[in-house]
Each structure stands twice: as structure tokens, then as C-alpha cells.
């Protein structure tokens, strides 16, 4: 049974940055979050149609940040050295940040955002401009045979029907093949109070506990889990066929993650009720802080036009009266407005100048990188604001 524990109000498409003409017919949905007592899966109560989010106008380029480029380079190196796959397929290849480290002759990709599918096809990687499902898995198997490594980053949590997704993976995976995927960790979200991991694209936030249940049901088994620092804390899950004997037996990392999650109470509804109270407090604290800084006449901007900040601004009702504008390095976002709250977005060159007193960290997951880069700002008295793990100001 699915039980609701959190209501983040009316929310727009998190990554749909707008021009003024688009304000009037903007789409909103109810962002409510549920816990499934049976599988222990945390999901959005109402899913948004995938075509509305993932299409040829998708603006999130994984390669815009150097740390993510490095992350995927190292991941590709590690998986190649450790498992020596003879062929590779990525689900949700975005701008090719991961596949670019493999030979195009035996590397394939699936990417429903037409702009990115075109990009990676042009790079020489056969990219299927479609949503991942059983039919597509059949087609790929017919065209290229089974796959030794199926990889996905920040993509499986976007998929609504997990049973269909995992069945499709199982059908395409070679006998000794491995399925590796990474997504934000539910445990880290709960520990850090980072409720802004919840937005339209994130249909689910995974615990290892829930994935263990759902993968087993689909005849796949987790044999290893890596805890990663990227995107505010993620888990990389390694799975294989459950019914084919191999050397890859579930190791200590699986047991440790399952027991840590049990200790935290991720298998109990009450834990989520406590989290909801913390989210409510976070909203009140952030709004009061911004309002009192405004009364003192401070200029506050937001650093990074993220999907996460779409959730925060719409849930907390933070608009242009509290945040003057947002700076972001992504050209496709500049000159546009934030979803729902319509705060203007400019380049850092244009907006991150001496007049800025405070910067709310929309991209709090890049805190260290940003702090290292913006020493001039903090030296002259500028302060950053975040809500993770609690609302605070720092420099």
C-alpha cells in the first residue's frame, strides 16, 4: 500500500526554463510523495508524462561541470578495467559524457531527448532516440546482440515503470553481463534534509532496500553498492542475472547498505513523517532568513539554476521579490526565467559582480567547487546561503 507523507505543493516542469511568452500556459502538477509499504519504494504520487520533460528542448548538459566530466571518465575507466566488457550500452546518454570514453564500434546509446541523441549520433555512437522499454530492448538485441555492460546514470530513477525497465535490461544483458546504474540516495536525502531531490523527473528516490526487492522480483540481483558523493550523495548499484551462477556474489557493501538503511528506519513510514516535519521547518527558516536579509537591504542572488532549486522556490514561494536573479553557466538557460517563480537567469559574468551580498546555493551539490572558485566573493564579505543540511549562512 502506498502512503503519502509529503506535499510540496504545485510544481512546474523543473528543467523547463521559460521565455516571457510561455508564462501564461505553464504546466503545474501536485508534487506529493508516497512510501510503498510492500516494496519500501519512495515515489511521486503523480507522475508527469515523460514527453513533457524529456524532449528536444532538454537543457541539462551533464558536461557543463568539470567534476561530472571527471566522475564519468573515472567511472568508464573503472568499469573497463574491472569487467572488460566487449560491448556497452548506456540508457540516458545525455551529451555523451560517459560513452565518449568507449569505442563507438561497440558502444550504443538510448536517449529520448532529440537534441542529445543527435549530438551523440554525430559523435559516431549509434543512439536510439527513444524511451527505454521492452520493445526497444528487443530491437537493440536484434540489431547488435546482447550487451556485456548496461549502464545508466541519473536515469533509472526517472523511469515510471520499474518492472518494465528491469525486465528490458534483463532481456538485453548477456549471460555474464552486468547492469550498473547510479542515482541519488534516499538515505543521503533523508540525512541531509535535501527534499529538493524531489521534482518531476525524479519519479523515485531509491534506497538499496527498495531496489533489492524490485530487482529480485525481476530476476536480477545486486552484488555490489558504491556510495558516491556526486549529486548530493548517490548510490552506484551493480546487478547481474539472479539465476545464472557467477563469481559475483553479493558482497559486504550490499549488506552494509541494507543494514545502515534499516538502522535509519527507511523501512518504516514513521521515519518519513518525521522527515516531512523537517521539510516544513526548512521552508519556514529559509523564507524568514531571506525576508529579514531583504529588510536589511541586501542583494540576494541564486547560484545555479538547478532542477532542485525549482522545487525549493516553488514550495517556499520564493520569487523575484526575495531573489534578484539566478546566475548559471549553461548558455541555454541564460536569458530565460526559472520554472514557476519566473526569476530571471543570467550568466555569472553578467550577474555575479560586486553588488551581490548573498548567494543562495541552488547547486549546493557543487559547494566545494563553488567555494574554491568564488574566494573573491567571500573575501569581500559575501555570504552563501543553503538549506542543506539545515538553513544557514556561511563563507
358-361: strand order across its sheet: 345-346, 326-327, 300-303, 358-361, 383-386, 392-394
Residue 34 vs 205, nearer CB to ligand DWN: 205
154 in contact with ligand DWN (CB under 6 A): yes
CB closer to ligand DWN out of 54 and 125: 54
390, 305 contact by CB (below 8 A): no
Pick the closer one to ligand DWN by CB: 72 or 223: 72
For ligand DWN, the closer CB: 127 or 154: 154
Q: Is 85 in the site for ligand DWN (CB under 6 A)?
A: no
- The single residue among 304, 339, 340, 351 that binds ligand DWN, judged by CB under 6 A, is 304
Residue 367 has φ and ψ, to the nearest 5°, of: -50, -50
Contacting range for ligand DWN; rule: CB under 6 A; set: 57-65, 168-176, 256-264, 270-278: 57-65
Distance between first and last Cα of the chain: 45
In the bound complex, what is the minimum distance in angstroms from residue 66's beta carbon to ligand DWN? Answer: 8
Residues with Cβ within 8 Å of 27's Cβ and at least 6 positions away in sequence, in order, are 12, 13, 52
DSSP code, position 333:
T
Among 16, 100, 231, 387, binds ligand DWN (CB under 6 A): 231
Q: Which residues contact 347 (CB under 8 A, 6 or more apart)?
A: 327, 328, 329, 331, 334
The H or E element that residue 260 is part of is helix 252-264
Beta carbon of residue 303, minimum distance to ligand DWN (angstroms, whole number): 7
- Pairing state of beta strands 300-303 and 358-361? parallel
Please select the residue that binds ligand DWN; options are 39, 43, 65, 93, rule is CB under 6 A.
65
- Taking alpha carbons only, the member of 369, 377, 306 closest to residue 71 is 369
Is residue 54 within 8 A of residue 116, CB to CB? The reply is no
Query: Residue 358, SS3?
Result: strand
Least distance to ligand DWN, CB of residue 308, Å: 4
Residue selected from 42, 150, 237, 305 as contacting ligand DWN according to rule CB under 6 A: 305
Beta bridge partners of 32: 7
The C-alpha cell 525549493 sits at: 312
Number of residues that bind ligand DWN (CB under 6 A): 21
Among 17, 35, 54, 60, binds ligand DWN (CB under 6 A): 60
The yes or no reply on residue 188 touching ligand DWN (CB under 6 A) is: no
Region binding ligand DWN by CB under 6 A among candidate stretches 102-110, 129-137, 159-167, 300-308: 300-308
Q: Which residues contact 122 (CB under 8 A, 6 or more apart)?
A: none
Query: Does 204 interact with ligand DWN (rule: CB under 6 A)?
Result: no
Residue nearest ligand DWN (C-beta atom): 304
Q: Considering the rule CB under 6 A, would residue 329 count as an interface residue with ligand DWN?
A: yes
Pairing of strands 147-153, 173-184: parallel
Stretch that binds ligand DWN, among 128-136, 204-212, 216-224, 366-374 (CB under 6 A): 366-374
Cβ at position 350, least distance to ligand DWN in Å: 12
- Pick from 308, 314, 359, 391: which binds ligand DWN (CB under 6 A)? 308
Which one among 107, 207, 365, 386 touches ligand DWN, defined by CB under 6 A? 365
- Which of 366, 384, 385, 386 contacts ligand DWN by CB under 6 A? 366
Between 230 and 293, whose beta carbon lies closer to ligand DWN?
230
Which residues in this chain contact ligand DWN in the complex, by CB under 6 A?
A: 15, 60, 64-65, 154, 201, 231, 304-308, 328-330, 363, 365-366, 369-370, 373
Amino acid at each position: 500500500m502506498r502512503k503519502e507523507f509529503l506535499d510540496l505543493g504545485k510544481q512546474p516542469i523543473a528543467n523547463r526554463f521559460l521565455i516571457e511568452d510561455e508564462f501564461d500556459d505553464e504546466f503545474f502538477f501536485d508534487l506529493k510523495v508516497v512510501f510503498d509499504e510492500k516494496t519500501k519504494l519512495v515515489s511521486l504520487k503523480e507522475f508527469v508524462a515523460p514527453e513533457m520533460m524529456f524532449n528536444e528542448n532538454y537543457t541539462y548538459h551533464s558536461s557543463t561541470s568539470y567534476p561530472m566530466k571527471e566522475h564519468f571518465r573515472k567511472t568508464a575507466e573503472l568499469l573497463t578495467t574491472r569487467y572488460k566488457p566487449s560491448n556497452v550500452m548506456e540508457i540516458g546518454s545525455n551529451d555523451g559524457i560517459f560513452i565518449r570514453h568507449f569505442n563507438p564500434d561497440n558502444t550504443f546509446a538510448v536517449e529520448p531527448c532529440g537534441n542529445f541523441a543527435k549530438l551523440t549520433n554525430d559523435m559516431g555512437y549509434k543512439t536510439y532516440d527513444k524511451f527505454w522499454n521492452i520493445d526497444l530492448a528487443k530491437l537493440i538485441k536484434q540489431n547488435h546482440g546482447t550487451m556485456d555492460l548496461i549502464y545508466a546514470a541519473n536515469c533509472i530513477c526517472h523511469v515510471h515503470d520499474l518492472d518494465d525497465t528491469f525486465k528490458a535490461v534483463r532481456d538485453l544483458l548477456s549471460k555474464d553481463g552486468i547492469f550498473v546504474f547510479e542515482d541519488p540516495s534516499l538515505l543521503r536525502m533523508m540525512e541531509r534534509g535535501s527534499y529538493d531531490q524531489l521534482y518531476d523527473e525524479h519519479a523515485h528516490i531509491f534506497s538499496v532496500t527498495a531496489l533489492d526487492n524490485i530487482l529480485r522480483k525481476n530476476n536480477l540481483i545486486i552484488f555490489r553498492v558504491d556510495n558516491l558523493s556526486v549529486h548530493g550523495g548517490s548510490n552506484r548499484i551493480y546487478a547481474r542475472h539472479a539465476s545464472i551462477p557467477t563469481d559475483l556474489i553479493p558482497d559486504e557493501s550490499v549488506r552494509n547498505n541494507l543494514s545502515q538503511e534499516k538502522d535509519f528506519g527507511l523501512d518504516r513510514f514513521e521515519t518519513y513523517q518525521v522527515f516531512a516535519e523537517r521539510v516544513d521547518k526548512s521552508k519556514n527558516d529559509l523564507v524568514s532568513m531571506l525576508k529579514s536579509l531583504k529588510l536589511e537591504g541586501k542583494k540576494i542572488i541564486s547560484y545555479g539554476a538547478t532542477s532542485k532549486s525549482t522545487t525549493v522556490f516553488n514550495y517556499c514561494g520564493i520569487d523575484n521579490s526575495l531573489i534578484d536573479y539566478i546566475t548559471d553557466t549553461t548558455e541555454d538557460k541564460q536569458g530565460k526565467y526559472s520554472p514557476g517563480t519566473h526569476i530571471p537567469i543570467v550568466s555569472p559574468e553578467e550577474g555575479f559582480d560586486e553588488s551581490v551580498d548573498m548567494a543562495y546555493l541552488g547547486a549546493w551539490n557543487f559547494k566545494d567547487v563553488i567555494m574554491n572558485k568564488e574566494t573573491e566573493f567571500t573575501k569581500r564579505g559575501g555570504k552563501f546561503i543553503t538549506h542543506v543540511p539545515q538553513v544557514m549562512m556561511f563563507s
